[in-house]
Amino acid sequence: MVARPQPKDLVLILAREFASKLALSVFIADADGNLVYFNEPAERLLGQTFAETGEIRAEAWSQLYRTEELDGTPIALEQLPSGVALLERRPAHHVFAITGLDGVRREISVTAFPLLSSTTALAGIMAIFWDVEASR
Amino acid sequence: MKVTIRGCRGSLATPGAQTLRYGGNTSCLEVWLDDGTLIVLDAGTGIRPLGLALADAQPRTIHLLLTHLHLDHLEGLGFFLPLWRPETELHIWGPPSPLEPLSLRIARYMSPPLFPVLLSDAPADVRFHDVPAEPWQIGSATIFAQPIVHPGPTVGYRIEADGAVLAYMPDHEPSLAGSIGTARPEWISGFDVARGADVLLHDAQYTEDEYSAHVGWGHSSVADAVDFARATGVRQLVLFHHDPLHTDDGLRALEARAQDCWQEDGEPPLLAMEGAELAL
C-alpha cells in the first residue's frame, strides 16, 4: 500500500502560495530540510523546473548544486543561510556562488528565515535568492 | 451522533423578518454522541438558546470546541446558562496562540468594558485546553483539529463517532492557499479535516461576485466551498456562515448556485438552517 503524503503545515501552504506570486527566486523547505517548493524565478538558478524535480529530499538537495564562497572556498550546508535558518532557527544572509544543474556559476545573495508557526514549532524555512550579477 | 444547528449566520447576528427561515443566530452546533456526551461547536449567539434548551437535562460535563475567537463565534458564551451553574464542568477547547493562553484571550471578551462580569467570576468549573496537534478522545468520539486558512489562529474540527464523520469548518478560505481543484491533497488547507466526511458544514458566505471584493477576509465563495467538498470527497456539503446581508431569498439562490456547481453523484449541497437536525 502506498502511504499517503503527510499534510503540509498551514504555514508552508501559505508560504508556497505567497512565493508563487513573487518575481524573486524563493525556495521553501520543510522542518526536516526537504525542499518542498521553489518558484518559477528559482528554476533558472537550479537549471530545472519544479515540475521536473518535484519535492527533493534533504540529502539529495545538496547534490543538485555546488556552493562556494566568492573566492572558491567550499561552504558547508549548515553554514548556508538556509542551514542556519533551519538548524539555529534564526534569519541569516550571505553572498556566495552557486553552480546549478546547467553548469553555470552564479553569484547570489541569499536571505533565509525560519517559518515558526509558534514559539516552538518550526514549519520550515523560506530562502530568497537574488542573482547579484543579473541585477548589476 | 445527533447534530442540531443552533446558529449558522456569519459575522453578525441578524434577526428579522428576512432571515426567519435560515435564522439569524451566529455559529453554534449542538452535538450529542450516542454515549450521552455533549459537544458544542462554537459559542456564537446560537449557544444562548442551546443553554435554555439544556435547562432540563442539566448535563454536568460539556465540551465546547471553539474554531477561533472572532466575536461571532464567542459572543454567546456569557449568555450560556450552564456557565452560571456551579455544577457544570465546562471544558473549553480552542486553537493555541503563540502570544497568550486561551483563557486570557477569552477573558478579554468577558471583562470590562466589553462585558460586565469577569469570566473568572462565573460559577461553573471552567477548564481551558489548547487543541492538541494529534487526535484525542472526548467520550466515544475521536476529535481532530487542524489549523486552516482564516485570519488569526483558527482550526477546523473533525468528529468521528458512532460510525460517522462530521467536519466543521465555518470560517475557511482555502482558495487563498492556491487552486483547490488542481492542488494535491497535502497542499489543500484543511483536507484531512474534511476527507471523506459524511457531513461537512463549510463556509459559503459569498457569491462569486461578492468574493472578488472580499479576497483575504477569510471566507469562501459558494463555488469554492463546492470545489473544496468535491476535492475532499464529502458525502453531504452543508453551506454555512451565511452573510448578514443575505436574506432567505438570497440564500435560496446561493443554494441553487451550489447545486449547479456540484455536478456529482450523491447528495447535492444544502443550506444550513437554524433548528435543523442532522442524524449521522
> What CATH number does the domain containing B141 carry?
3.60.15.10
* Interchain contact, A13 vs B185, CB within 8 Å: no
Which range marks the domain in which residue B60 is found?
Answer: 2-279
Kindly provide the residue ranges of all beta strands, DSSP E only, lying in chain B, ordered along the sequence. 2-7, 28-32, 38-41, 61-65, 89-94, 125-130, 136-138, 141-147, 155-161, 164-169, 199-203, 236-240, 270-271, 277-279
* Interchain contact, B146 vs A7, CB within 8 Å: yes
Return the pLDDT at A5: 78
* All three cell numbers of B142: 475521536
- Measure in Å the smallest separation between the Cα of A17 and chain B Cα atoms: 5
Q: Which 3-state string (H, E, C) describes A104-136?
A: CEEEEEEEEEEEECCCCCEEEEEEEEEECCCCC
Return the pLDDT at B72: 98
Q: What is the mean pLDDT of residues B218-245?
A: 97
Q: What is the mean pLDDT of residues A43-72?
A: 86
Predicted ipTM beyond 0.95? no
A73 touches chain B (CB under 8 A): no
Could you count the other beta carbons within 10 Å of the beta carbon of residue B247?
18
Return the pLDDT at A79: 93
Tens-place pLDDT, residues B108-138: 999 999 999 999 999 999 999 999 999 999 9
Return the pLDDT at B227: 96
Mutate to test the interface with B, among A10, A34, A37 (most CBs of B within 10 A): A10
Mean of pLDDT over chain B? 96
pLDDT at B92 over 60: yes
Of B98, B147, B178, the CB nearest to A10: B147
A7 touches chain B (CB under 8 A): yes
- Beta-carbon contacts of B188 under 8 Å, excluding residues fewer than 6 positions away, are A13, B174, B177, B180, B228, B231, B232
* Interchain contact, A14 vs B149, CB within 8 Å: yes
Return the pLDDT at B25: 98
pLDDT at B11 over 60: yes
Return the pLDDT at A28: 96
CATH number of A10-131: 3.30.450.20
Residues B195, B185: Cα–Cα separation, whole Å: 9
Return the pLDDT at A117: 84
**B31, B143 in Cβ contact below 8 A?**
no
- Measure in Å the smallest separation between the Cα of A16 and chain B Cα atoms: 8
Specify the number of domains making up chain B.
1
Q: Which residues of chain B make contact with A5, given a CB cutoff of 8 A?
A: 184-186
* Interchain contact, A10 vs B186, CB within 8 Å: no
Tens-place pLDDT, residues A76-127: 889 999 999 999 999 999 999 988 777 888 899 999 999 998 778 899 999 9
pTM recorded for the entire structure: 0.90
Return the pLDDT at A103: 85
Burial of B46 (0-12, 13-18, 19+ CB in 10 A): buried
* Interchain contact, B178 vs A16, CB within 8 Å: yes
Of A8, A118, A119, the CB nearest to B186: A8
| Cα-based distances in Å from B185 to A29, A54, B118, B225 | 18, 15, 43, 15
Q: Which residues of chain A make contact with B184, given a CB cutoff of 8 A?
A: 5
Of A7, A10, A118, the CB nearest to B149: A10
Residue B97 — pLDDT band, cuts 50, 70, 90? confident
Q: Where are the alpha helices (DSSP H) in chain B?
A: 47-53, 102-109, 191-194, 208-212, 222-232, 248-262
Return the pLDDT at A43: 87
Provide residues of B within 8 Å CB-CB of chain A. 96, 98, 146-149, 176-178, 184-189, 191-192
Interface A-B, measured as beta-carbon pairs within 8 A, has a size of: 42
Residues B240, B206: Cα–Cα separation, whole Å: 10
Q: Where are the alpha helices (DSSP H) in chain A?
A: 10-20, 40-46, 50-53, 58-61, 81-88
Rg (CA), chain B: 18
Long-range CB contacts (within 8 A, 24+) of A51-59? A58/A29, A58/A32, A58/A33, A58/A34
Residue A2 — pLDDT band, cuts 50, 70, 90? low
Tens-place pLDDT, residues B161-194: 999 999 999 999 999 998 998 999 999 999 999 9
| Pick from A85-94, A97-106, B205-214, B271-280: least confident | A97-106
Residue A68 — pLDDT band, cuts 50, 70, 90? very high
Return the pLDDT at B139: 97
pLDDT at B253 over 90: yes
* All three cell numbers of B84: 452560571
Rg (CA), chain A: 14
Of B98, B149, B192, the CB nearest to A7: B192
Residues A128, A81: Cα–Cα separation, whole Å: 10
Mean of pLDDT over chain A? 89
| Pick from B23-32, B84-93, B159-168, B255-264: least confident | B255-264
Helix (H, G, I), strand (E, B) or coil at B268: coil
pLDDT at A67 over 60: yes
Residue A1 — pLDDT band, cuts 50, 70, 90? low
Of A4, A13, A118, the CB nearest to B189: A13
* Interchain contact, B184 vs A17, CB within 8 Å: no
Mutate to test the interface with A, among B102, B154, B189 (most CBs of A within 10 A): B189
